Structure 1
Amino acid sequence: MVNQVEPKLTSVLFEDLQNERFVTIATVDHETGGPNVSAISWVLAKDDQTIFFAVDNRSRIVQNINSNNKVVLNLIANESTYSIQGQASVKAERLEEVPLKLALIEIQISEVRDVMFYGSKIVTEPKYDKTYDKNAAARLDKQVMDAMRKA
């Protein structure tokens, strides 16, 4: 299969990004100029050309985006792996209605590329478990996702 390239999220990927999930984000490091990769989970597709995510507002991700707005979000979904390129900006320094000091980041998508290597498919998507109070984690996750939906 030839790697597909789209200018926006497909409807399947849009749906995949309606709930918290494991993704990685690559930014340009503001100190070294090299790549910086981080794992995040509070991510939401606002529409087929816009993705929101939330991170601690003191995060290196925020510093990197303020220095260079080019980002790549890596998503494993739909039996494949996707590279979502775009320009990021801090939409809000502090996400309202959330007890933590989280920045809301907006990515304007420029390209969605299926980057799975030839002749293969993902058979199990990454899963993770919260290692702190499950009830507190569930409350916080709901607060963050609801706040991003309202933004």
Structure 2
Amino acid sequence: MANKVETELTEQLFELLQSERFITLSTVDHETGGPNVSAISWIYAPDTKTIRFAVDNRSRIVTNVGSNPKVVFNLIGAESTYSIAGDASVKVEKMEGVPLKLALMEVSVNEVRDVMFYGSKISVEPKYEKTYDAQAAAKLDKQVMDAMRKA
């Protein structure tokens, strides 16, 4: 898909964003004006033009988006690497039904690019595991994902 630019998520990317996954998010740092990169996992696409994610409501991400709404997700999946750019805002300052103080962020997708270098593909997607109580992690993950779907 070299240099092809989409204005919304493809069906394949939409499907990847129906469940929790490892993704990085770049924001514009409110102090330095430079890039700020964070790894997140609570992410969900309710449709092909919108992405929601949850972060601690004291996160630097929230402050950065308050100063400059431009964000870029880096998603590795579907045998490639994608850059998904958009404008973010705080949809909910404290999510209901979640025991942590999480902000629900919402991004309006403007541009989707396949940014994988020529002549290659991803053979193994990034994987991670929670390092705290597995039952507690699964319960919290379900609460957060359910709250994002209902918002």
Contact 1:82 1:113 in 2 (8 A): yes
The one-letter amino acid of 2:24's match is: T
Deviation at 1:104, TM superposition (A): 0.2
Q: Which consecutive segments of 4 or more residues in structure 1 shift more than 6 A? A: none
Name the count of aligned residue pairs: 151
Give TM-score, length-normalised by structure 2. Answer: 0.99
Contact 2:57 2:101 in 1 (8 A): yes
CA distance in 1, matches of 2:94, 2:143: 13
Map residues 1-151 of structure 1 onto 2, 5 A cutoff: 2-151=2-151
Please give the secondary structure, in 2, of the residue aligned with 1:14: helix
Percentage of matched positions with identical amino acids: 73
Deviation at 1:46, TM superposition (A): 1.1
Over residues 57-107 of structure 1, what are the superposed CA-to-partner deviations in whole Å (9 max), with x where a residue is unaligned?
000000000000000011001000000000000000011100000000000
Segments of 5+ residues of structure 1 without an aligned counterpart are none
Segments of 5+ residues of structure 2 without an aligned counterpart are none
Deviation at 1:4, TM superposition (A): 2.0
Over residues 99-119 of structure 1, what are the superposed CA-to-partner deviations in whole Å (9 max), with x where a residue is unaligned?
000000000000000000000
CA distance in 2, matches of 1:96, 1:71: 25
Give TM-score, length-normalised by structure 1. Answer: 0.99
Deviation at 1:5, TM superposition (A): 1.1
The one-letter amino acid of 1:86's match is: G
